[in-house]
Amino acid sequence: MAARAESTAIIAEKREFRIHTERVEKLVNRLDNCGEPELRAIALELVQSVVELHGAALERMLESISQTSAGQRALEETIEDDLVASVLLLHGLHPDPIETRVLAALEKVRPYLHTHGGDVKFVSAGEGIVRIKLLGSCGSCPSSSITLKNAVEDALYAAAPDIVELIAEKAEAELNSATLIVLK
């Protein structure tokens, strides 16, 4: 029962995040289509100033919170929330580096991959570029491969939306395995 309530809360949080994100995107589009360049420039400068103000305030809050072990624990729990993590990333304040977030996301998606005969291996992360290797069904069966690749991508982009490029390689064993010969 508690797990179901937690799942419902997570769905509601994701819906709320999506609604806010869509609203921001619509407003940005309206600004982009505004026929008055001066008004558009003023509005964009205003938004940038507000974002910078919020970023500075968040940075001070994080510095203050992280001074105690209780505050550090609270911060660790808080960054599990996708909305909070996204806002911290927006301001360059997320305490976990991209590699840590990617590794955690892979651990979360791994049980699902295993149920489909697949797995994933972390290769590297640097300058926004993440490299992984798809193993088992992830790299060999076309339909299963797409489903599992999408699951991995969704998990990674949710944990690390600052990924600039995701490169999924097939494992060497998969590349050198039996070759399909088409007989006519």
Closest CA to 127 of 157, 70, 166: 166
Q: Provide the residue ranges of all domains of the chain, joining segments of one domain with +.
A: 2-90, 98-173
The pLDDT of residue 179 is: 38
> What pLDDT sits at residue 184?
33
Residue 121 host element (H or E): strand 118-126
Low-confidence ranges of the chain (pLDDT < 70): 1-11, 13, 137-145, 171-184
**pLDDT for the residue 177:** 46
Alpha carbons 170 and 122: distance in angstroms, whole number: 12
Contacts 24+ apart (CB under 8 A), 114-117: 116/144, 116/147, 116/148, 117/144
Tell me which CATH homologous superfamily contains domain 98-173. Fe-S cluster assembly (FSCA) (3.30.300.130)
Neighbours of 23 (CB within 10 A): 10
pLDDT, position 129: 93
Residue 158 CA, chain-centre distance (Å), reads 3
Average pLDDT, the chain: 82
Q: What is the dihedral of CA 9, 158, 85, 131, to 10 degrees?
A: 150
- Please answer whether residues 109 and 120 qualify as being in contact, where contact means their C-beta atoms are separated by less than 8 angstroms: yes
Contact 163, 157 (CB under 8 A): yes
